[in-house]
Chains A and B, each alone.
Chain A
């Protein structure tokens, strides 16, 4: 046989085998049985006559052929906002609350709550004016007396039954049409959108102020254990990150021992806090929140507090207790970004709504007020991002971009102009030089003179390039922080008649403010300190290496703080400020610091005028009138010391650098 033929045969056979292999192999693959993903999945069939199918609602047959309104089962055990609350009583004045008198002795907590409501803007003195009657149930009520149906019960219409602590005598009278605000209500009896779920507070929860969150750093410390498990008797059991084999079913009882934390109100130190779904465990929930430990709730049978407005998916994980391994795996694999966000949100929520009894009560009322407001209620963003809905009033605006806090989230910027608000006090000298200096700034939109002097208005004002308006003040210091309608810009430059600023200083300070629209940017500073000798707070105008307040006689801040100052501060504090004019600076700084939790910002100030100081400079403690002690009274009213110190000053980039003055934008700042 010729060799070529042999070779050809060779080749042919090889080729044929290759071919057979190629064709057969996929067939064999298909032939392997019980492989669910063999081939494409058998989807829903494409019907040949799909085009001919009829629509589910025929155009001719109108579904509303019988427009009779259905019989709504009103009353009964079921209520919702539309059916059981009469909004018409609340139109106009917003939410006005009358607290129904409680029979018998009242506890300290109750008294505190009453006082807190009375000092708030919700309070109403007469049940006829009020649109909401509040019935406060106390924990101490003896068994026989806990079911007195109050006088103006009226079937419970427009009533709020509030019990902070799990009542000893639960539900002795049916709530009927009354809203029930109680701690950790069971999901089965909770009426969403009508009842309000409260947190289960510990016995000794502070009335006001409250302990700050425990979180001191944003990200979890590397050594911190992954999980802490809520124990039945109030403690926490820490499970290390490397012992995940033991989930929380109680199957690993034998592992208990040295790791167990002692009983009591110790806060867990872990990244995640696993809380079983039974009712008593709800107490653990607040502990975890305060500790900045992300709550992992296993099929909770109670409604999460304020679930109507708080987006708990941002701060907690509600998981199914039947899938412990999946949950555990999910926690272990959770990306750091999510952990970071959840942790911070727990702290924000704790500080904003849960850290004191007063906040819990105010949040409850705010939720009901939001229902009344309808379209002009708080948007969800205001509830769920700092500083929280209690400090972001919907009466100011419902558009987040109007507030100083949400520009980043909304991708917006504050308006690039400012209004100068010059307060002219008793001496009654028109601040002509100041007006010229301020009007010289290209960012100045308007000048408002708030004339609070008894002297008559000067007949003529200097000609300025920007509009100048004179407002007649009420001769009260707090009046300078009134949200005057004439203020048209986001930024306010607050000035006194005796302030002295150059245009350059104003321009630079405004440039800085635009980077920090939620803070106060000022020139002159004070600092507070703890006075060991006096056992109280003090403050000084002396120049130190740090500061915590800027004087409002020359400061930029957002106009929203005027609204907050006038409408959210307790009346008592405003009166205090009126009586002692220096207190008004302290009060404004308290307010802004309580909202931002950050220090104000200082910018350079050319001249150090002695006369720029307020007339009543603090420091000389002997001659201080009693009102000078306002810082302590305010700290008491706030419940804590909100002021935060800063050790830096923001200067222009080339400030006093050894470079030609011609290169510098704000050169007049450096004149001696």
Chain B
């Protein structure tokens, strides 16, 4: 329903555009005909024409000036974004009896309180966010309800407005962000702020409204969520506890540390640091401070417990200094001297010090029972922090000491990465919040655990094998042989006849790559026991051999050239058996190697008798059909077109692709054979050619540069039947006919 309505809307718009064109085009035609009348005019009109001419000339000059004048007047963005002062925003008077929303509904979940229909169909899988314009709210007596807007909230709204999520069309929005600043509950009047929320034009019990709050609660009980009644509105809050957090509905966000922007702190890598444990918070409950002091007394130098400075000289910012007795330390620099840093709850659970600690690459030791860590819905805090129950505070030191050094370094790295990605600016916090909500609404397009949590260095080095499940496919399925051919019909028929003798063959596909010649008539093809299908291609391209044809019904594919007649049925069947044990690899017959040429400082292709292999030729190779999909649609860079243009190296490209995506080496099966046939230039025949070798080396260098790495893996083994060349009766062997020439 919605979809069709949307469609109609689109069509309407297109119509309008066309209508404009019709009008314009008509007028053009009319006026072109017009000047033809001029010569018949009398001379008295000449003055008129001259005037017209000069006007036109002036117009031209003016346009030229306008076009090429340096654009100092106004940049295009300023056309739309007004330059105004915050003090000039419209004032809204809230009557004392205007409605107040219900208190937050604790049972809210996305599928009960959130209106997904507003998010409708969106091919880009991105929610649309609308921001209400800024207003100043005053009560009946003209007293403002709150500070109009804080620097951070202004930044936050600007970040949303600059992002892909933003829309200025309230009708298309899925999420609404009020411009009423509730970041800090202490700076606002609760009842009046709630009234201000309730009178927003699309409030509707707060459905699909998102509020950002970092400092919730107030004295004396310090609630862990914003006290402003907000009904169904989502709350992105800093300092949620398990009691107030609505799992899967609210978003737990960090408390932004203004020091992030103010202080320039160069990154410090992981590793052992001067202090093992550091406490840098100033307002710590006396009981907890006692505990900390006790730990320091017990472990001496490796623990440092800091407090606020009492005797600082004038003009020194007290937030930037910490003291231990009479010694003064710079904050946040001192955090970089510690391996673990205590993040203890104060009156509130969420503490800005967490952000400073992460930034310093210090592993936070979170001591705040029931605290919901920031972005815990997606971030794996086990990798970056240690959570210690408040009861266990006195054991902190021994708990931390049981963590191995390697894990600590990993955590330090992870902590720093969390700060860089999700804590360092208001923008990062805002976008991560929206991404989390977006992931909930479009779960099929959500970011994965790895995308959220793995630092870039890990993402780069890791391989996620697309066929990771250890599985040996059943033999009964068999394989599909794909023969790429151009016009060597005689040789092709021999190959078909040979391959059809393999017991596990289930289908044979001939890819006819010659557009100028028709394939032979049906009656001329060899009669074989499995279905034979000829696919004609539109263009003579090598990549046709790796196209994921619908006709391929088995997982295993045997790519075979139309001149490979020397492989015995035993060898092919054994190759298929080997593939079943390694379904995620290329399993092929002739093996090749890449070598680093130290003199030339580049890669070299090698086809000699070597003790190692890193590639197999796809002139005869088994592989999973999924790699056909990858080759056709996911080949990096321009490799696919490059191969088609050069008519060479499609097999090397396939080797690169598979090795890159699986991180595994090829499997060469059976001993080396002379891959030569009497009437054709087979792989080996060609390979001997010097220019061919140079070309192949060029391919390797080209692909390595496109992939940005050398994915090929070198191994020293090949696969043979268990009893190959063993002193054992030949007739009892499963695959006797292997390796014979």
A binds B: yes
Q: Using a CB–CB distance below 8 Å, which chain A residues touch chain B?
A: 1, 6, 8-10, 12-17, 19, 21, 23, 25, 28-29, 32, 35-36, 39-50, 53-57, 59, 61-73, 78, 80, 82-83, 87-88, 187-188, 191-193, 215-219, 221-223, 277, 299, 311, 313-314, 317-323, 325-327, 329-331, 334, 336-337, 340-341, 344, 347-348, 374-377, 379-380, 384-386, 397-399, 408-411, 508, 511-512, 515, 525, 543-547, 596-599, 602-603, 608, 644, 646-657, 659, 663-666
Q: Known contacts being A32-B16, A56-B150, A219-B625, is A321 close to B219, with CB within 8 Å?
A: no
Q: Known contacts being A63-B347, A64-B283, A648-B581, is A45 close to B81, with CB within 8 Å?
A: yes
Of A55, A63, A78, A659, most B-chain CB atoms within 10 Å: A63
Beyond A344-B469, A377-B382, A409-B462, list 5 extra A-B contacts (CB 8 Å): A23-B63, A56-B214, A319-B444, A341-B464, A375-B399
Q: Which residue of A lies closest to B444 (CB)?
A: A330
Task: Name the distance in Å between A310's Cβ and chain B's nearest Cβ.
Answer: 11
**Interface of chain A, main secondary structure:** loop
Task: Name the distance in Å between B662's Cβ and chain A's nearest Cβ.
Answer: 8
Q: Known contacts being A36-B172, A62-B283, A314-B448, is A72 close to B369, with CB within 8 Å?
A: yes
Q: Which of B55, B462, B611 contacts A665 (CB 8 A)?
A: B611
Question: What are 20 A-B contacts with C-beta separation under 8 Å?
Answer: A45-B81, A47-B86, A69-B347, A216-B474, A218-B624, A299-B111, A313-B448, A348-B468, A375-B407, A379-B380, A379-B382, A511-B715, A545-B721, A646-B581, A647-B578, A648-B581, A650-B720, A653-B716, A655-B718, A666-B611
Task: Name the distance in Å between A168's Cβ and chain B's nearest Cβ.
Answer: 27
Binds A, one of B72-80, B264-272, B532-540, B686-694: B72-80
Task: Name the distance in Å between A594's Cβ and chain B's nearest Cβ.
Answer: 11
Task: Name the distance in Å between B127's Cβ and chain A's nearest Cβ.
Answer: 12
Docked complex Cα distance between A53 and B184 (Å): 14
Asked whether, in the complex, the Cβ of A398 is within 8 Å of the Cβ of B407, the reply is yes
Q: Which residue of B lies closest to A660 (CB)?
A: B609
Docked complex Cα distance between A28 and B243 (Å): 58
Asked whether, in the complex, the Cβ of A654 is within 8 Å of the Cβ of B52, the reply is no
**How many interface contacts (CB-CB < 8 Å) are there between A and B?**
441
Asked whether, in the complex, the Cβ of A42 is within 8 Å of the Cβ of B168, the reply is yes
| Set of chain A residues within 8 Å of B448, measured between Cβ atoms | 313-314
Docked complex Cα distance between A147 and B85 (Å): 68
Interface string of B674-716 (1 = CB under 8 A from A): 0000000000000000000000000000000000000001011
Q: Known contacts being A344-B468, A664-B611, is A78 close to B671, with CB within 8 Å?
A: no
Docked complex Cα distance between A80 and B578 (Å): 52
Asked whether, in the complex, the Cβ of A543 is within 8 Å of the Cβ of B285, the reply is no
Q: Which of A82, A399, A508 contacts B370 (CB 8 A)?
A: A82
Docked complex Cα distance between A423 and B664 (Å): 34
Docked complex Cα distance between A329 and B728 (Å): 59
Asked whether, in the complex, the Cβ of A41 is within 8 Å of the Cβ of B166, the reply is yes
Of A29, A596, A603, A655, most B-chain CB atoms within 10 Å: A655
Task: Say yes or no: is B629 at the interface (Cβ < 8 Å to chain A).
Answer: yes
Task: Name the distance in Å between A597's Cβ and chain B's nearest Cβ.
Answer: 4
Asked whether, in the complex, the Cβ of B347 is within 8 Å of the Cβ of A384, the reply is no
| Set of chain B residues within 8 Å of A32, measured between Cβ atoms | 16-17, 20
Q: Known contacts being A1-B39, A334-B444, is A80 close to B242, with CB within 8 Å?
A: yes
Q: Which residue of A lies closest to B716 (CB)?
A: A511
Docked complex Cα distance between A289 and B221 (Å): 47
Q: Which of B116, B183, B348 contacts A323 (CB 8 A)?
A: B116
Asked whether, in the complex, the Cβ of A215 is within 8 Å of the Cβ of B347, the reply is no
| Set of chain B residues within 8 Å of A16, measured between Cβ atoms | 52, 55-56, 59
Q: Known contacts being A41-B167, A221-B553, is A648 close to B20, with CB within 8 Å?
A: no
| Set of chain B residues within 8 Å of A654, measured between Cβ atoms | 609-611, 672
Asked whether, in the complex, the Cβ of A53 is within 8 Å of the Cβ of B151, the reply is yes
Asked whether, in the complex, the Cβ of B224 is within 8 Å of the Cβ of A70, the reply is yes
Docked complex Cα distance between A398 and B157 (Å): 41
Asked whether, in the complex, the Cβ of B386 is within 8 Å of the Cβ of A650, the reply is no
Asked whether, in the complex, the Cβ of B446 is within 8 Å of the Cβ of A341, the reply is no
B residues 112-126 with Cβ under 8 Å of A?
Answer: 116-117, 119-122, 125
Task: Name the distance in Å between B111's Cβ and chain A's nearest Cβ.
Answer: 4
Asked whether, in the complex, the Cβ of B168 is within 8 Å of the Cβ of A83, the reply is no
Asked whether, in the complex, the Cβ of B464 is within 8 Å of the Cβ of A409, the reply is yes
| Set of chain A residues within 8 Å of B464, measured between Cβ atoms | 341, 408-409
| Set of chain A residues within 8 Å of B134, measured between Cβ atoms | 45
Asked whether, in the complex, the Cβ of B85 is within 8 Å of the Cβ of A49, the reply is yes
Task: Say yes or no: is B70 at the interface (Cβ < 8 Å to chain A).
Answer: no
| Set of chain B residues within 8 Å of A191, measured between Cβ atoms | 242
| Set of chain B residues within 8 Å of A599, measured between Cβ atoms | 581
Asked whether, in the complex, the Cβ of A9 is within 8 Å of the Cβ of B462, the reply is no
Q: Known contacts being A43-B81, A56-B215, is A652 close to B716, with CB within 8 Å?
A: yes
Task: Say yes or no: is B723 at the interface (Cβ < 8 Å to chain A).
Answer: yes
Asked whether, in the complex, the Cβ of A215 is within 8 Å of the Cβ of B723, the reply is no
| Set of chain B residues within 8 Å of A62, measured between Cβ atoms | 282-283
Task: Name the distance in Å between A412's Cβ and chain B's nearest Cβ.
Answer: 8
| Set of chain A residues within 8 Å of B161, measured between Cβ atoms | 43-44
Asked whether, in the complex, the Cβ of B449 is within 8 Å of the Cβ of A651, the reply is no
| Set of chain B residues within 8 Å of A331, measured between Cβ atoms | 444
Docked complex Cα distance between A664 and B716 (Å): 11
